Amino acid sequence: MSKKPTNCLNKRYHKGNSLIEYAIPLGMLALAGLASAQLLTQGVPPTLAGNLNGDLQGNVIAVKAMGSDSFITPATVAATNPTTGGNTPAGTPGSVVLTLSNGSTLVMNNLATDFNGLLETSGAAGSTSTLSANMETLAAELLASGEISQAEANLIQSLAQKGHEMAGAEQFLENFAANHPNPADWDQPVTYNGVTYATPRAMGEALIGYLDPQTTAANNPLDPSYVAANGPNNITKQFVDQYNGAVSQGALSNPLVNSIVTQLSEQIVFTSDAVQHSVWQVMAPGSITPGQFNQNNYALATTINSQGICNAGGGISCI
């Protein structure tokens, strides 16, 4: 009887793995690495935060510590303020401690506690967008803590959305200033959201700011009389009307809520007026140049009679 030949392939198989068996797991690791890189560059998807029963705060998922109802995040969370018109994000957002009506405290990280610094580094549109986002976060956290009702949270969220609309108009005008350094270019029609305006000044007056003197409005930016003459499509008027509507419906009856929402709202609407006024000044001979647009916005907006949320009282302190 002849001896059965040895199967070399089987012998090699039992002693080690073939190249393709290394390639498959290595390929899977590479795909995982690509997915991780994409997550780092594109931000954390909201669905992931939901799956973890957490709260998406900027690009960080805040989770609840065991036995706690409050979300926690690392103390070294980086600033996530928007960048607009070539400006850089605000570098040092603050942490705000809110003393709730039941005596407990709620710590909120990454809020814009330095209005002047935010304007200087993020520009008008970036500041308005950041302040509006802060308002949205505030409403969500106060609702989760039981400090406000769903109806009250909805009113505050709606106000914040109107702030984002305002930021869109401000962004358009900031970009126009950056792209049109010659004042003569400003005497031409512009189209925003499908509507054509005779000039950037006409757009600014139609959509943002006050028609009353700016120095008067600075004393109380949320006084509805200052926007009474503005047209129905003026976003600043809509914002002010919504704020006063929230007040009349009791959404800000809680002193803590009233204090912080009022401060954020004042900063939002007065920033819009600074932008509108800067557009007017660019088109006024001998006033400012387009290159001074952002600098002028900062100079005007920081004259607001606002204490800032850290000094607003009503159960608010900053750390």
Q: Which of 61-65, 116-120, 275-279 shows the lowest mean pLDDT across its residues?
A: 61-65
Report pLDDT for 29.
Answer: 54
- Residue 267 pLDDT more than 60? yes
Q: Are 82 and 90 in contact (CB under 8 A)?
A: no
Read off the pLDDT of each residue in 96-121 and give the average, rounded to a whole number: 87
Helix axes 293-301, 255-282, angle to 10 degrees: 140
Q: Is 203 domain-assigned?
A: yes
Report pLDDT for 142.
Answer: 94
Kindly indicate the confidence band of residue 221, based on its pLDDT and cuts at 50, 70 and 90.
confident
Q: Kindly report, residue by residue over 226-238, the tens digit of the pLDDT.
A: 888 888 899 999 9
Report pLDDT for 211.
Answer: 72
The alpha carbon of residue 224 and the mean position of all alpha carbons in its chain are separated, in whole angstroms, by 25
Which residue matches tokens 């800000």? 252
Q: Is 14 domain-assigned?
A: no
Q: Is 6 domain-assigned?
A: no
Beta strands in 87-220 (DSSP E): 94-99, 105-111, 190-192, 195-197
For the chain, how many structural domains are there in total?
A: 1
- Residue 70 pLDDT more than 50? no
Q: Is 40 domain-assigned?
A: no
Q: Which domain holds residue 69?
A: 54-318
Show the 3-state SS of 249-316: CCCCCCHHHHHHHHHHHHHHHHHHHHHHHHHHHHCCCCCCCHHHHHHHHHHHHCCCCCCCHHHCCCCE
- Residue 46 pLDDT more than 60? no
Higher pLDDT, 141 or 66: 141
Q: Which of 1-15, 142-156, 217-231 shows the lowest mean pLDDT across its residues?
A: 1-15
Higher pLDDT, 242 or 70: 242
Q: Is 92 domain-assigned?
A: yes
Q: Kindly report, residue by residue over 23-38, the tens digit of the pLDDT.
A: 555 555 555 554 444 4
Report pLDDT for 3.
Answer: 41
Which DSSP letter does residue 45 get? Answer: -
Neighbours of 278 (CB within 10 A): 29
CA distance 192 to 246: 29
Report pLDDT for 109.
Answer: 85
What order of strands is seen across the sheet that includes strand 94-99?
A: 105-111, 94-99, 316-318
Q: Is 144 domain-assigned?
A: yes
Report pLDDT for 65.
Answer: 36
Report pLDDT for 52.
Answer: 39
Phi, psi values for residue 90, rounded to 5° = -65, 135
Q: Give the C-alpha distances (Å, rounded to integers) separating 116 from 127, 129, 259.
A: 10, 15, 19
Read off the pLDDT of each residue in 289-311 and give the average, rounded to a whole number: 78
Q: Is 202 domain-assigned?
A: yes
- 222, 263, 214: which is closest to 242 by C-alpha? 222
Neighbours of 276 (CB within 10 A): 28
Q: Which of 8-17, 88-97, 207-216 shows the lowest mean pLDDT across its residues?
A: 8-17
Q: What percent of the chain has pLDDT over 70?
A: 67
Q: Which of 124-133, 230-239, 243-252, 298-307 shows the lowest mean pLDDT across its residues?
A: 298-307
Read off the pLDDT of each residue in 248-268 and give the average, rounded to a whole number: 92
Higher pLDDT, 62 or 84: 62
Report pLDDT for 41.
Answer: 39
Q: Which of 80-94, 164-178, 282-296 shows the lowest mean pLDDT across its residues?
A: 80-94
CA distance 132 to 238: 15
Q: Is 32 domain-assigned?
A: no
